[in-house]
Amino acid sequence: DKMCMQPDWITYTLDMLGQGGTIGTFKYSTAGAHLLSAIITRSTGKSAREFANEHLFKSIGMKEIPYYGMKSFGFDDLFGKNVKGWVNDPDGNSTGGWGLTLTPRDMARFGYLYLNHGTWNNQQIIRRSWIDESTEINPNNYGYLWWLRDEDGVFSYSALGDGGNVICCVPEKDLVVAIASELIMNARDRWKLIKECIVQSVKD
């Protein structure tokens, strides 16, 4: 919340890194994810939205995310009823930790790309080694922006968004589950729904 009230989100995030925690201890940070978006922009000269449209979304048949040009940065603009396209910060960086609006079908397309080791229509869109590395189980149960689970011998990785939005991949079942939701405070555990109602009903 404090980051979103700053005129320069990147400078604010860089200034607060390492404060109030132990160096080396894992703690998820949406501000950290936003830094990744800024790194993409500094490295490519394109916003994450532009870069993803060109190199990812188009390649797998997803709808292009348009630019809407945000004029205000209140709660509804960043999280609520006014969110559309891909939210950006005051400097034009696409938000790294939230604010990307996708249809459930396009969410599932992205999950399916990962489930197929980065291949789409026999074309390697993302390197297989990157897919493997970003979803490799570790003590933090967090990969490269994927939450990792290994329960009862079933491994899965999920992109978990605000209000219950989720893309869940279960390789063993060759399964992708996409759930889209408006922002709901304290949304129910989507994994419980996926595990009990979907995963357990899919035969090996």
Lowest mean pLDDT among 102-116, 136-150, 168-182: 168-182
Q: Are 194 and 169 in contact (CB under 8 A)?
A: no
Instruction: Give the pLDDT band of residue 35 (cuts 50, 70, 90).
Output: very high
**Domain annotation for the chain: domains and CATH numbers:** 1-101 (no CATH), 102-204 (3.40.710.10)
Residue 3, CA distances (Å) to 44, 87, 165, 191, 204 in order: 24, 14, 22, 29, 45
pLDDT digits (tens, 9 = 90+) for 5-23: 999 999 999 988 867 667 7
Judged by phi (left if over 0) then psi (alpha if -120 to 50, else beta), residue 80 lies in beta
